[in-house]
Amino acid sequence: MSQIKVLQFISPSGFYGAERWVLAFANNIDPQRMRCDLAVTRESPNQDLRVADYHPDSAGQVHYIDMAGRFDIRSVKTLVNIIREREIDVILTHGYKSDILGLIAGRVAGIRCVSTPHGFSGNVGFKLRMFIRLGTSILRYFDAVAPLSEELVEDMHYFKVPSSKIHFIRNGVDIKDVDATLASDNAHGKSESGRRSIGFIGQLIPRKGLLDLLNAFDRLHECRPGLELQLIGEGRQRPELEEKCTTMKSGPAVKFLGFREDRLELLSTFDVFVMTSSLEGIPRCLMESMAVGVPVVAYDIPGVDQLVEDRVTGLLVPHGDVGALVEACKKVLDDPDLRARLIANARARVEEVYSARRMADEYLELFQQLMSPRSAAVTRGPD
């Protein structure tokens, strides 16, 4: 079969899991069999467009879709023009906004439409909630929907996506990127302060449970005053978290590092990676931690439990149990044999099941199925 031409489409909200997924996919395609362009919406002067900046030239071209406001239906015309000029075969969308606009553009242009759901926010305002509801309601009209976890597969059934259109393709981490980091001079060194550290990477938002992490760290710091907590990322909850730190004895040992270009290098210096989320898909930051060789302690929630097998590839504790979280962190910090076992098992698990190359190959198989003459004869729309 000839090279399949794909257009990934995303409305960047920062540089988080979905944006990193887009890059991991583009970095791991077989260029002889797939060309992968990227289209991003450009909605404000201060929008974070690093996903476009980092997109590999070898994968395909980057296209910017200028929008007047956060939702501009006129952008469909621009997308259609890109699809026709670049002779795109499949549009692959990420997020409610790109799902809505991408599906319309794909149907106008007469190409295959595939959505990759990355998860759904719960605590949002009325207007955004309505857009998300619209986005989830149209998933059934795609040619295929490829959720990243078993939990998201169940969500697709809830949103009435026909089973024939659901193709579970497990999330993957860019092993090439990780290994390049491990080979660098800065990897697995000391933290920036030279102290032992536990850390977190992600959005500073309520569903990440970071107040629990701060409370757990405050208890840990009482018996390990040399310990440091590093938080990498930004988000609307940062002022609240910083205010919380002013009331904690351990407050000076909590470092808010913001967005960092050297995220993986910093991650490799952590002694423990801790995740206290209440809602996740399959978190990319956890996969990266496991691949880099940093032991994981996390709340036992759907999605996380697909990655972390308790006492095998990490330690899991009941959601909301801060005391258990503290004890699990102590175990990992104090038991070198446990650390070594968790690190080895976690890396093997990522290589076997969660590599981005495996993920990209499975998407190629899906696109080839959709492009086959038999598939072309199938009427689109809900069953």
CATH for 4-172+355-376 is: 3.40.50.2000
Q: Report the pLDDT value the prediction gives residue 378, as an integer from 0 to 100.
A: 45
Task: Name the band, by pLDDT with cuts 50, 70 and 90, for residue 379.
Answer: very low
What's the fold here for domain 175-353? Rossmann fold (3.40.50)
On whether the CB atoms of residues 44 and 66 are closer than 8 A, the answer is no
On whether the CB atoms of residues 283 and 17 are closer than 8 A, the answer is yes
Does 180 have pLDDT greater than 90? no
On whether the CB atoms of residues 82 and 39 are closer than 8 A, the answer is yes
How does DSSP assign 20-45, residue by residue?
Answer: HHHHHHHHTS-TTTEEEEEEEEE-ST
Task: Name the band, by pLDDT with cuts 50, 70 and 90, for residue 14.
Answer: confident
Does 10 have pLDDT greater than 50? yes
Domain ranges of the chain: 4-172+355-376, 175-353
Model confidence pLDDT, tens digit, residues 120-136: 655 555 555 665 677 68
Torsion of CA 277, 281, 284, 290, to 10 degrees: 70
Let me know if the fold of 4-172+355-376 is the same as that of 175-353: yes
Residue 364 makes CB contacts below 8 A (sequence gap 6+) with 4, 29, 30, 33, 34
End-to-end CA distance of the chain: 28
Model confidence pLDDT, tens digit, residues 339-365: 999 999 999 999 989 999 999 999 999
Please list the residues that pair with 63 across neighbouring strands: 39
What residue type is 77 in one-letter code? K
